[in-house]
Structure 1
Amino acid sequence: MARDRRPPRTSPAGPGRTTRSRAGSRASTPTSVAAASTGAPGAATPAAQRRFPVLPSRLGLTRRALAVLSVLVVLALSYANSLRIYLDQQRDLGEAQQQIAQRNERIGELQDELNRWNDPAYVKAQARDRLGWLLPGEKGFKVIGADGKPLGTGVVLDSQTDLPPGEHAEMWFDRLWGSIETADNPERGVGR
């Protein structure tokens, strides 16, 4: 007679409880393990043992604990992205606040300079220093160095020093006249 080697059917255990097969419960007893190794007829088959793996008891993990652990891992991974975005936003916010502080400091410096230019004494001092202007009745002089250039003349415009010798910077009225000529005769415009 050939015996049917299918695992036995399980019966419902009720709400909230898991069902256990008789083969799985037999496999966990020491007598059935010994019977399985000897090939006894009542022993659990290796296929049944593969279907319902037995966790090592030394870890103390159950299937519920594994399910909770896997849910916690999924939640941690999903919140990790949100945490990264939050930290990026905090870094951007710190940089923006630093830029605002620097710009407020620059605004304060420019406001101080504007207040100085509203003072007539400061404007006179700048005109005397930068442009070499004199008040009526004063006599001006320039100190000439050994190379023949005046010393302490104040501000030197960089645009004039960058030009080749013999050429002059184009004045504003020359540019204005050139744009008027271009508007009158667009065929002679720049780039044609």
Structure 2
Amino acid sequence: MPADRFSTATRLRALGSQAAERVYRAQSRRMRTPPGSRLTGRAAVLALVLCSLVVVLAYPARQYVTQRSQIADQRQQAQEAREEVKRLREERARWHDPAYVEQQARLHLHYVRPGETGYVRPDGSADDTRDGDEGPADRPWYQNLWRSIDLSDSDG
């Protein structure tokens, strides 16, 4: 009988040690993954896919925003060009008017009509000089010509 008893006691000890190992393993698993913060494999794959989508779509989104800005700039420039063309067409139409051409010739070139007398003041200004402002545009063209010839002569 002592042999049976020995074998039962030995078996109980072996069973006890196996049970203790199972309990130890279960406790170590609980300690490794605290409750509520489990990251499953599916969640990790989902996070990886979302991050890769953000990275892949970031550049095209930036390009889209940049291109929209460029389109807005181009539209603004086109509108300004249309306004400039309109202004130039109006100016061209004015130049087809003989009265406007005559006015500009009198103002800038100091032309006079046949029978009129043009006066040049002793200070070199024409009779239509305003407020004493005198520049190359306010002098008759021939004075500008002679002045440039005199200046080039004196330099050399």
Give the TM-score range, shorter chain. 0.5 to 0.7
Q: Which has the larger radius of gyration?
A: 2
- The answer on 1:149 being equivalent to 2:149 is no
Contact 1:55 / 1:62 at 8 angstroms: preserved in 2? Answer: no
Larger proportion of helix: 2
Instruction: Please give the alpha-carbon distance, in whole angstroms, between the structure 2 residues aligned to 1:89 and 1:63.
Output: 40
Q: How many residues of Structure 1 are paired with residues of Structure 2 in the alignment? A: 120
The residue type equivalent to 1:96 in the other structure is Q
The two structures, once aligned, show a CA RMSD in angstroms of 3.3
The residue type equivalent to 1:128 in the other structure is R
Please give the residue correspondences for 1:174-185 in structure 2 after superposition, counting only pairs within 5 Å. Answer: none
Partner of 2:66: 88
Shift of 1:61: 3.0
- Name structure 1 gaps, 5 residues minimum: 1-28, 37-48, 169-192
* Residue deviations 1:106-154 (CA, integer Å, cap 9, x gap): 111111111110111100101111111111222221233xxx3325277
3-state SS of 1:76 partner: helix
- Name structure 2 gaps, 5 residues minimum: 1-20
Partner of 2:24: 32
TM-score, normalisation: structure 1: 0.52
Instruction: Please give the alpha-carbon distance, in whole angstroms, between the structure 2 residues aligned to 1:85 and 1:142.
Output: 65
Please give the residue correspondences for 1:12-161 in structure 2 after superposition, counting only pairs within 5 Å. Answer: 31-33=23-25, 55-144=33-122, 148-150=123-125, 152=129, 155=137
Taking a change above 3 Å as real, the CA distance of residues 95 and 167 of structure 1, as seen in their structure-2 partners, is farther
Shift of 1:164: 7.4
